[in-house]
Structure 1
């Protein structure tokens, strides 16, 4: 354990524990980040403790800000997203229970981020992201325009096209093809 994975332009996670019961991470959110896509986890719950800085969270359509020392939970099925809109780094402890395929999800995101960086792009290839997301429906579901159905159709269609075209994270990442 201890692998640090860059999962976005402003976010990295370090794996602290990974077993079937729990994926424990320490996440670092760089300053002046932007919200990721809204999403939910159909079969696992998340718990967070802010260690340093401030974390902006949209949870079930309500925006909150959590400072160091604060904790909060996100029950499975709850639409959310989080980012650091402040001027200093934010560090957060993060538990996903049960772990499901969350570690594989993050490793795939990191592979997509590396590929984007190598190509001089800020964001991963959309078809590769959709293919990865389609392979991790037990862990991650995208929400578009407040619609879980629209997110599922988007990921399903584009993910299928991405898989047909061979767009995926690094070989060996579960659910990428």
Structure 2
């Protein structure tokens, strides 16, 4: 496998929900399937629904702002420089609890082409008829499960 070198400015950016923009930094294709790396810009009082990654571990790196993260029912508070590891199979969600947009970077191990889910969510969100049911169906196609409302 060759090294993967990608300038930050070349990252594909996708709006996947109201107030959440995802930058695709590294894909499974870039890393031989080992890892995928993303960055979210999250509006205040915003976050995804509770969900489960059945086949992937997820690690968060909090860069800007303040976030609440719930993992298996336990609430944690994070700020710049903090990290969190979420083992596969764990119900989790995050929310920007600050007054300005927040930024977090995260990885999926293994990658499992998770970027395809984000692209599908983006195209669905930008089209007509996007709702929680559509998001749940797209997530399920990629080994993810919606497990409850946002925080």
Report the TM-score range of the alignment, normalised by the length of the smaller protein.
0.7 to 0.9
**Residue of structure 2 equivalent to 1:12:** 21
**Pick aligned residue for 2:72 from 60, 82, 104:** 60
| Higher RCO, 1 vs 2 (CA within 8 Å, ≥6 residues apart) | 2
**Residue of structure 2 equivalent to 1:25:** 38
**Pick aligned residue for 1:92 from 96, 104, 123:** 104
**Residue of structure 2 equivalent to 1:133:** 139
Structure that is richer in strand per residue = 2
Q: Which has the larger radius of gyration?
A: 1
| TM-score normalised by structure 1 residue count | 0.70
Q: Which moved more, 1:124-133 or 1:63-72?
A: 124-133
CA contact (8 A) 2:59 2:107 kept: yes
**Pick aligned residue for 1:75 from 87, 98, 109:** 87
1:63-98 Cα shifts (integer Å, max 9, x gaps):
111000101110000100112122011111111110
- Unpaired segments ≥5 residues, structure 1: 146-177
SS in structure 2 at match of 1:26: strand
1:131-163 Cα shifts (integer Å, max 9, x gaps):
323322x2x112249xxxxxxxxxxxxxxxxxx
Q: In 2, distance between residues paired with 1:15 and 1:144?
A: 25
Q: Which runs of structure 1 show a deviation greater than 6 angstroms over 4 or more consecutive aligned residues?
A: none
The structure-2 alpha-carbon separation of the partners of 1:87 and 1:22, relative to structure 1 and needing over 3 Å to count, comes to same
Q: How many residue pairs end up in the alignment?
A: 136
- Unpaired segments ≥5 residues, structure 2: 1-9
Q: In 2, distance between residues paired with 1:79 and 1:127?
A: 18
**Residue of structure 1 equivalent to 2:7:** none
| TM-score normalised by structure 2 residue count | 0.82
The structure-2 alpha-carbon separation of the partners of 1:76 and 1:134, relative to structure 1 and needing over 3 Å to count, comes to closer
